[in-house]
Structure 1
Amino acid sequence: MGWLDVVGWAASAVLVWSLLQAGQVRFRAFNLLGCLVLIVFNWALGIWPQVGLNVVLGAIDGYFLYRLLSTRHDERQYQVVPVRNDDTFLDYVLRVHGDDIRAFNPGFRRETGPGRHAYLVMTGDALVGVVLVRALDEHTAQVELDYVTKPYRDFTPGEFVYRSSRLFTDHGFRKVLSPPGEVAPYYDRIGFKRAGESFVLEY
C-alpha cells in the first residue's frame, strides 16, 4: 500500500468519524479536515471533479464552522424559559434524556416542592439544556441539575445562564453552588471557585 492509499483511507476514516459526532462544532471540524485531506489525495491522482467537490464541501464546512464559533459566546443566542417544577414538558425532557443526565449527574434525584425553580435553556425552538435549582436560603441557590444536550456541548450556554441571564440575581440569590459529584464539571472556566466537591459563584 502506497502513501496515497494511506492518505485516501485516512481521509475516509475522518469523514466517517465526523458523522459520528453529536456536537455541531466537532462535526464540522472533522468534516472539514476530511475534505482537506481528500483534496490533497484527489489532486495527487488528478481526479479534478473530486477536487472540486471537496473544495466546495470544505468551503461549506468552513462557513458553518465560522458561524458556530463566532456566536458561541453570544448571549443573544440563548433564552432562559422558566417552567413549573412539575411541568409535563419538563418531565418529558428529563425522561427522554434520562440516561445521559445520569451519566453526567450520577447523584441527581428529581424532587419537587417549594423553593425549587426549573428552567429550559433554548436557542430558537431547539432545546439547549435544563437547569434545576433549590433555594438553600434567601441568598444561596443549590443547582441540582445543570444539563446540556449533546449538540450544544461544544458551546458555552452555562456562561450565559450563570453570568448574563440574571437567572439567579432576579430571585435575590448572591451565591450559587454547583451540583456536587458532577462528571466533567466546567464551572472553573466561567468564574466559579472550587469548594470541596462543588464550585461556588458569588455575585
Structure 2
Amino acid sequence: MNEIYLNLPLIEWIGYLASTLVFISLSLSSLVKLRIYNFIGSSIFSFYGFYIGALPVGIMNLLIALFNIYYLRFLLFKKERFSLVRANVDDEFLRHYLLYHFKDICRFFPDFNLNFDKRNGQVLLALRDAKVAGVFIVSNNEEGRSEIILDYVTPEYRDYKTGRFLLQKYREQFADVNNNRLVCESNNKTHIRYLKKMGFEQVGEQEYILQM
C-alpha cells in the first residue's frame, strides 16, 4: 500500500475512493442503489481506517456496512404486495400525483403535457404496499398500436419490479389481436435502457416497440 500514484500513496487513493462512493450513495433516490453504494463505500472505508490505525473510523464504518447488509436483505427479499388500480384520465388524484412529480417526469418524458390527449386513454396505477409506485398512461389507437403517453415510476421504486408489474397487468387486461403492440418514443438514455430491459426493440431513431 506504499506505492505512489500521482504523488499520493495507494492507501490514500483507497480512502478517496471510499469517500466518493459514500458521497454518490447519498445522491441516489433508489433505496436499493443507495444501500449498495453505501455498503461498498463503508466497507472500503472500514478497511482504510483499520489499515492506517484509525480504529474509530474502521469500527464505525464496519458497523455502517453491517447495517447496510441488514437493510439490503430486507429491501431485496421482503415480500411486497403489488396491486393495480385503474383510474380515470380526469381523476383528481392522478392530476395531483402528476403535478407533484412533474419536474422528474420531464426528465424522461420532456414532451409530456398535463393536458395530454385523453381520448381512448387508459390509466393504470401500480401500488406497492398500498403506496403509489408508478403510473402507466396509454392511448389505444388503430392498427393494433397503443402509444405510451407516460410510463413513470416514483424514484424510490425504480428497481424494474414496478415496470414489469405494470406491463404484465396491461398485457392481461388490454392485449388482444386488435391491440398487440406497445409503442414508446424516447431519446433519454436512462429511459431507453429501461425500455430495453423491459423487452422493447428499437424500430426507428427514437421509436421502441414491445410486441404483446
Judged with a 3 Å threshold, the aligned counterparts in structure 2 of structure 1 residues 155 and 191 are, in CA distance, closer, same or farther, namely closer
User: 2:172 matched to 1:169?
Assistant: yes
User: 2:201 matched to 1:198?
Assistant: no
Among 139, 157, 160, the alignment partner of 1:155 is 160
Shift of 1:2: 4.5
What residue in structure 2 maps to residue 99 of structure 1? 103
**Matches of 2:172 and 2:48 in 1, distance apart?**
55
Does structure 2 conserve the Cα–Cα contact (< 8 Å) formed by 1:116 and 1:135? yes
What residue in structure 1 maps to residue 52 of structure 2? 45
Q: Number of matched residues?
A: 198
Among 1, 14, 31, the alignment partner of 1:24 is 31
Judged with a 3 Å threshold, the aligned counterparts in structure 2 of structure 1 residues 169 and 13 are, in CA distance, closer, same or farther, namely closer
Judged with a 3 Å threshold, the aligned counterparts in structure 2 of structure 1 residues 176 and 182 are, in CA distance, closer, same or farther, namely farther
Shift of 1:20: 1.2
**Matches of 1:36 and 1:188 in 2, distance apart?**
33
Say which structure, 1 or 2, has more relative contact order (CA 8 Å, 6+ apart).
1
Shift of 1:34: 1.5
Percent sequence identity over aligned pairs: 25
What are the Cα deviations for residues 54-73 of structure 1, in whole angstroms up to 9, with x where unaligned?
Answer: 222112212333443456xx
Does structure 1 conserve the Cα–Cα contact (< 8 Å) formed by 2:145 and 2:183? no
Q: TM-score, structure 1 length as denominator? A: 0.81
What residue in structure 2 maps to residue 121 of structure 1? 126
**Matches of 1:102 and 1:9 in 2, distance apart?**
34
RMSD: 2.6
Three-state SS of the structure 2 residue aligned to 1:147 is: strand
Q: TM-score, structure 2 length as denominator? A: 0.78
After superposing the two structures, state which structure 1 stretch, 173-182 or 96-105, moved more.
173-182
**Matches of 2:49 and 2:151 in 1, distance apart?**
46
